[in-house]
Amino acid sequence: MFDTHMHSKYSFDSDMELEDAVKEAERQALGIILTEHLDLDFPDPKFKCVDLPAYFQEYEKYRSNKILLGIEIGMRPDLIEDIDKIINEYPFDYVIGSVHLVDMVDIYGMKYYIGKSKKEAFNKYLKHMIQCIKTHNHIDSLGHIDYICRYNPYEDKELYYEDHKYYIDELLKILVEKEKAMEINTRRLNDAEAVKSLMKIFKRFNQLGGTMVTVGSDAHRSKDIGNNFSEARELAEACGLKIVYFKNRKPEYI
């Protein structure tokens, strides 16, 4: 298997060295794809984008069948031309499309949730994700659909299919139509309630015609590489989905 989502020292929120990532991946018999952050025009200036020329200059020599180079794009419909230009300019193996901002507000912080019920906050997040998927044709996989569950302040943090099925179905149908993968992000798979709620979403993805999932730890430290991968394999199998990784922007089946 490949761990298809991780951040090294070229991401603002990680100081992981590639050598440490490679050692841990070899210990677990995993391939890895580096996916540094690219969030253009982020409202908080301390969140820097990856220096792509430096990233490729340093890491290209390590590229192999087991070490691949990707990117995690913070999807922005208002910057689609700039994002497309970057994707076309650099030889990425894999592109994750993620939502970190909604209406230019970082959903990591509390500002986004002020004055909103949980349903309002989640629906707005999903509607924005739908708009992103409609406009971002260059991505290979939708990153962490449950990202909002990590940081919201509500007592029950989960994303339930039944509570948002109209928007989730619309999102999944677009992914199927565009033949995109979904990411099983393993960050929260040590939580039984998270697995249960995600299971319904990924089963629905399969029912609507989805076939492919990527698996990524979202590791920012080498010790987190491969976390909860057995749970991810079980989830994919239970939902009838095939685990893939991307090389040269093409899916490779496990």
Secondary structure element (H or E) that encloses residue 21, with its range: helix 18-28
Q: How is the chain split into domains, by residue range? A: 2-253
Determine the CATH number of domain 2-253.
Answer: 3.20.20.140
DSSP letter at 143 equals -
* pLDDT for the residue 22: 98
Give pLDDT tens digits for 176-201. Answer: 999 999 999 999 999 999 999 999 99
Give pLDDT tens digits for 8-36. Answer: 999 999 999 999 999 999 999 999 999 99
Tokens standing for 179?
A: 């033949």
Q: For the residues of 192-208, what is the DSSP string, one character each?
A: HHHHHHHHHHHHHHHHT
Give pLDDT tens digits for 116-140. Answer: 999 999 999 999 999 999 999 999 9
Q: What whole-number percentage of the chain has pLDDT above 70?
A: 100
Cα gap 237→235, rounded to integer Å = 5
219-227 mean pLDDT: 98
Cβ density class 136-156: b for 16+ within 10 Å, e for less: bebbbbbbbbbbbbeebeeee
Q: Are 11 and 220 in contact (CB under 8 A)?
A: yes
pTM: 0.97
